[in-house]
Amino acid sequence: MTNNSSARESMLTAMFGLSGRAAIVTGASSGLGLGFARTLAGAGATVYAAARRLDRLHALGDEVPGIVPVQCDITDDSDRKALVDECYNRSGRLDILVNNAGKPGPPQAEQETAEGFNSILEVNLVAGFHLATYAAGRLAEGEQASYINISSVIGLVSTAPIGGASYAASKAGTLGLTRELAGQWGRRGIRVNAVVPGWFDTEMTDGLFSNDKSAGWVRRNTMLGRGGTDGEINGAVLFLASDASIYMTGQTLVVDGGWTAR
């Protein structure tokens, strides 16, 4: 290895490396959260992978060094507190929080019930807020952290007939929450940013890409002419988690193949 290539590698490691850091990723048992957990662990972080399906988390931990499985129902406030406590008790720190867990609601507004609407907001918006406040409350003076909220293109634009009122409200609320927390916590050393995924083939979008009509709708309305594939959003989360984005806060990073730029 030449001196120049060694220097470049050292520079990239300094920018994107997460060695010695601790992260929480919610909704880590499948879909985008699974990829986020793998990516952060691959960059050197100890990742507390949280979800309800513990068997899947253990399988991930067996596959990827640096993964700590934590069974957690993020709608349960005691579970949320216990998740943050677990990270601090084992690692003594929490540098990165990825609020990824979420669930969809019914596509038609008339199908929404008051209970169902509140349930979607609890998972997609309220839980992430409380996790962030618990994490911020444990951060010592002089320490820095990066909190990343996963929103959706449905929080930016209408995607009717796919989407849903409760889901859109929760994901738009996530963007507003991101800006407000960034403003309140910036001088404490806490950066808060959001990632907005477009259409990715995950459990959340089950059936979207297997149906010719809906898959064609995605292709026609996405500038790159296709949906996102496994791993294509992970770099955005690594960027925001690492020192490569050290001067960014309150921002929304859209990874949608050009869907919202039309």
Cβ neighbourhood burial of 174 (10 Å; 0-12, 13-18, 19+): buried
Give the span between the Cα atoms of 21 and 11, in whole angstroms: 18
Cα dist from 239 to 40, 135, 140, 205, 245, whole Å = 10, 20, 23, 25, 6
Give the span between the Cα atoms of 49 and 206, in whole angstroms: 22
Give the span between the Cα atoms of 229 and 52, in whole angstroms: 25
Annotation says 48 is catalytic: no
- The angle formed by the CA atoms of residues 41, 100 and 11, to the nearest 5 degrees, is 40
Which of 88, 147, 167, 247 is an active site residue? 167
Residue 260, both tokens = 């919202």
Catalytic amino acids?
167
